[in-house]
Amino acid sequence: MTSSSGSTNKTNRHKWAANHGYQYHTVSNVLRGVNKATFGAGREVAEKLIRL
């Protein structure tokens, strides 16, 4: 994995979060498993990401 692919993923996460009305750190925390996504915005993010 190169550093350029990491920055591309980060940019894509930023764009996805902005396009869906969520903060980047919420999306990032859900993807990393820090946010358990049991309720609230974290759950909404997880449900939308599952549909991708």
How far from 36 is each of 17, 31, 33, 39, CA to CA, in Å?
17, 10, 6, 8
Instruction: Give the pLDDT band (50/70/90) at residue 2.
Output: very low
Residue 42 covered by a domain: yes
Domains in the chain, number: 1
- Domain with 42, as residue range(s), is 13-50
Residue 43 covered by a domain: yes
Residue 1 covered by a domain: no
User: Which range, of 8-12, 20-24, 37-41, averages the lowest pLDDT?
Assistant: 8-12
Residue 8 covered by a domain: no
Residue 2 covered by a domain: no
How far from 32 is each of 5, 27, 28, 35, CA to CA, in Å?
17, 9, 6, 8
Residue 21 covered by a domain: yes
Share of the chain above pLDDT 90, in %: 77
Higher local confidence (pLDDT), 3 or 43 = 43
Give the CA angle between residues 24, 25, 31 to the nearest 5°: 95
Q: What is the mean pLDDT of residues 24-28?
A: 96
Residue 7 covered by a domain: no
Residue 3 covered by a domain: no
